[in-house]
Every structure is written in C-alpha cells, then in structure tokens.
Structure 1
Amino acid sequence: MLSPYADRLNALPVRRREVEVGGGSTAYWEYGVADGADVDDTAGPTVIAVHGFRGEHHGLEPVLAYLPDVRVISPDLPGFGETAPLPGGRHDLDRYARWLTEFAETVAPGAVILGHSFGSIVAAAAVARGLETPRLILINPIGAPALEGPKGLMTRLAVLYYALGAKLPERLGTALLRNGMIVRVMSITMAKTRDPELRRFIHAQHDTYFSRFADRDVLKDAFVTSVSHDVREFAPHISTPTLLVAAQQDDITPIEAERRLATLFSDAEIVEIADVGHLIHYETPAEAAGAIRRFLRLPVVRGR
C-alpha cells in the first residue's frame, strides 16, 4: 500500500545504524542527514523519536516527512522491530527509561526527546529521572490510566487478551497475539478518518508492523507497563519546556485529561488537533509537525 506521504518520504535521506546500549544492540534510523554529509549540515536540532506500543520506527515516518530539515534519530524499542530484547530481566518502565537515557547519551547527547503514546511514558520517565534534553515533545501522551479512558472496556478486554496470550502454550499464545483479524479490529477501532485511502494505509501499516515483536514475554511486559503508568507520574518532576500534541477524539486519553496533564508540568503548552484520535502520526502528521516546528522555532513547511 503506497503511503500518502510517499513523495515526501522518498525525498528524505535515511540510513540505518546500530549501537550497543543497555547490554544489547539497538537498531535505529537517522533521518534528514544525507550519506557523506556532516551532522552540522542540518539546519535544525536533533530529535530522538520514540514510537508507541507494538509499533516500531516506521510509525512516526509520516511526521518526520514534514521535518526534512531536522536530524531525527528513531530507534526500535528493545523487543520490537529490529531491536532484540535486552538480555536478562523484565522489560518494565525502569528498564526502558534507563535504556533511553543511555541511548540518548551515547548517540545524540542533548537531543530533543519526542515520544508517542507508550513512547510518551518512556520519554517522560527518562527525563524526570535525569535525561538531559532542551525540550520534550509528547504526541498522543498517555495522560490518564488507560483503564479509565473512554474505551476502558476495550482496554480491559485487551488485558484479558494479552494475559491469555501469555498463558497459552507458546506457539498458540504467540499465534493469538499475532492474529491478523485481531490486529485489524485494533486498527479499525483507533482510526477516525473517513478517507478510504488513508484508512487502507493505516490498516496496511498495522498489518505490516504491529506484530514485529520479538516474543510474547516482551510484549506482555510492555503492555503491563503501558497500562500501569501514565505521564502524570512524571510531569511534576519535569522542568524542561514541554509540548503536548493531543487529539480531541482520543479514545485512550480524553482531551479533558490531556488539558489537566498540561497543568502538571512547570513549563508546558498543549496543541489540540480536531477530528483525530490516537493516530495523530498517521492521520494528521502535517499538523503535528507544524506544532513541533513552532515549538522548536523552525520555519514553516507548506503543502501536503
């Protein structure tokens, strides 16, 4: 399925890299720096972009397509995409936060930190615990307990789904967690756009990338982390200027909760996007990138 943002993405330089952090190898992609070019050749700051639950680096590419003059480093979280699980121990929030801190300090010290959805929890936890960054950007931040959101029933069903996947015999449990029909139901539930072409693209993205987790154990750990924590825990401990890009139809964190979340930071602003839910990165990437550009004081890029 051709991306609606293909023309912009095809013009965006990208190269794959790996780095040893957290006791394992992390795969990451560097956008906006052409082969042979120096990092200083980019006009804007460096941004480290952390994807959401069950996703990997491809998910944030539509937003990056509107940030062509920014060096963006986008890793696959440990246990997802092309990054193997970290050796030994559970993949809980403490481990993910320590991994992100070490990754940022190794690859791009002083970079702006950006997190989407589950990535917003990881990013906020890392910054609250000492990761130095000049600015923090949270897209679709998890600003309230997922079990209390507008689709709390769906979240409870998800809890049962992941618990069952973890308890069944390994082969059967993994097959359940990668079941294409269930992934499609998740995709249909989250998509708000009525554009049939964009809906097909969203479903194709989830079909392709939503099951690229290493094993059911790391998936269970990440899910438990995603429903056990939210950004409210860390907001009062973050003094870094912060941007919240929130959706007015988000089924996971209602917009009223996002507005309250913004007040918990010492220095935060919120940009609300109408007619979109938890898939800002797919449905309204230009609007999200526009908010980011203003926050980072970059020139506006016009056109689709």
Structure 2
Amino acid sequence: MATQIIGNLAVEIDGDGDAIVCVHGLGGTSNSWTPLMPAMQGHRIVRIDLPGSGRSANPPGELSIATMVDAVLRVCDQLGIDKAQFCGHSMGTIVCQHIAVQHPERVSGLALFGPLVCPPEAARPNILARAEKAAGGLAAMQEIADAIVGAAISKETRAQQPAAVALVRESVMRQSPEGYAQSCRALGNAQAADIDAISVPTLLVTGDQDGVAPAQAVQAMGQRIRNSRVVVLDGCGHWTAFEKPAECNAELEKFLSA
C-alpha cells in the first residue's frame, strides 16, 4: 500500500493490473472500501479521500458534485489511468454516474453501493440543515454521527455488529466539520446525471433497510441503465460494505470477473 498526496487529496494505491477507482460517500473515506479489498485483488486499487473528507484538504471554494468529478479525474490523470472500473458508495455513486455520462471512454464498468441518482426533493432541506449543524464543531459531529447510526444502518447491524456500528460512527466523527458541511451542501444541491445514457456493465447493490437508496428506487435505476444488475441485501442498511462485507465481496467479485 502506498499513500500519495495528489492535488491536496489523500490517495491510497494498492496492487497492479487494470484500475479500480473507489469513490466514498458523505462521511466516508478511503477506509469505506477496506472491507471490499479482497474482491478487488488482482487490480490496481485507487481509493480517494474526496476534497474536504478524511485526510484530504478542504477545498478553497464551494464544493459540488462537479468539483468532485474534476478532482477524481485529476487523480486518474496524475496516475496515468485512462480507463477504469469505478466503485462508488452513496454520494460517490452520483460522482461515478456523472463521470460515466460525461466521459464514457474512461469507464469500463460501475459498481455502485447504496446508489442514488440524486437526493429526493423532500430530503434536500434536511441534508442542507445538517451542513449548518456541522458548523457547531466536534460536539455537533458526534450528534450527527449518532443520528446516522440510528437511521442509516439496519436494526440487525445495530444489534449484532458493534464493530460495524463503531466504524460508521468513527468515520463520520473524524470528518472535518467544515469539510463535512461543504460535502453536505454538495449533496443537497446535487443534480442527476442522464443515467439512461450509461451502457457499461453496472452493479447496483442496496439494503432492504436502506432509507437513502430504497430498493424500489434502485430497481428503477436498474430499469434505466442498460446492462445493469440489482442486488438487494437482507438485513442491511445504507453502509453496505460495513454491514454485509461477505455478501458485498461476493457480488463485487462476480461482477469484476464477468
């Protein structure tokens, strides 16, 4: 494993072979993908901390999905990656969809966990309000983390997997309050990509208790994306890789080998 700082972004690079570029979601980091590393062996795995997330610096201006897309592609350019499989989680799936639509020549496949085309209108005010709450600093980030644990992971995970609960909570609490607030604003204002234009093989994985990416909405995405397959995991919320690592590894390995 090697960590590089590329354009103020922390990037972890593992292995050799065809590239897989991993894009985490809101409150995530490169460690969001650690549970799925076994399925990606035999590839050059590139895990990026998005601007303002994890160990990456806060962006100098306002953050948006478009600036995230640009940041990911700049990392790819710096590493000499012309084409890759892209893996995304949550907000990162929106970034990956925009890359696939705007730069189809750079994408050989999409594996999207907890996917959404954009937040529903009813959810946007709450996401933007979370950005304002994050301005309260570390104490506010703890409150946000506890709320996410209560709402975004399954009841089975909360009851049976204390380590997964701790990982989700720690991932959110370790975010910079300002960086997290900017990411919330970026997600709250995100617009959908034209996913009907996506034709590369696509894996869509969600949980039966995922309120951010409900199974019905993900099935609708699958109907619009040609050459896609939808998987709904039982007893799983929104943090699929942490909650169901064995199942996610099996689905991702099957997808990559195909």
Q: Same fold (TM over 0.5)?
A: yes
CA shift in 2, pair 1:63/1:161, >3 Å: same
Structure 1: distance between partners of 2:51 and 2:235: 32
Task: Write out aligned runs for 1:54-73 (5 A).
Answer: 54-73=27-46
Partner of 2:211: 251
| Higher alpha-carbon Rg | 1
The correspondence of residues 1-150 of structure 1 with structure 2, limited to 5 A, is 15-20=1-6, 24-31=7-14, 33=15, 39-40=16-17, 45-86=18-59, 88-107=60-79, 108-130=81-103, 132-143=106-117, 145-148=119-122
Q: C-alpha displacement at 1:282, in angstroms? A: 0.7
**1:159 is matched with which residue?**
128
Count how many residue pairs are aligned between Structure 1 and Structure 2: 256
Q: Residue 68 of structure 1: CA displacement? A: 3.4
In 1: Cα distance, 2:61 partner to 2:84 partner: 28
Q: Give the TM-score, by structure 1 length.
A: 0.75
Which of 181, 206, 209 does residue 220 from structure 1 map onto?
A: 181
- Where does residue 174 of structure 1 map in the other structure? 137
Q: Is the contact between residue 111 and residue 134 of structure 1 (CA under 8 Å) also seen in structure 2?
A: yes
What residue is the counterpart of 2:230 in the other structure?
270
**Residue of structure 1 in register with 2:150 after alignment:** 188
Q: Distance in 1 between matches of 2:130 and 2:24?
A: 22
Q: Name the SS of the counterpart of 1:47 in structure 2.
A: strand
Q: In 2 relative to 1, CA 63–228 (structure 1 residues): closer, same or farther, beyond 3 Å?
A: same
Runs of 4+ in 1 over 4 A off after TM superposition: 155-158, 195-198
Higher helix share: 2
Unmatched 5+ stretches in structure 1 = 1-14, 34-38, 167-172, 299-304
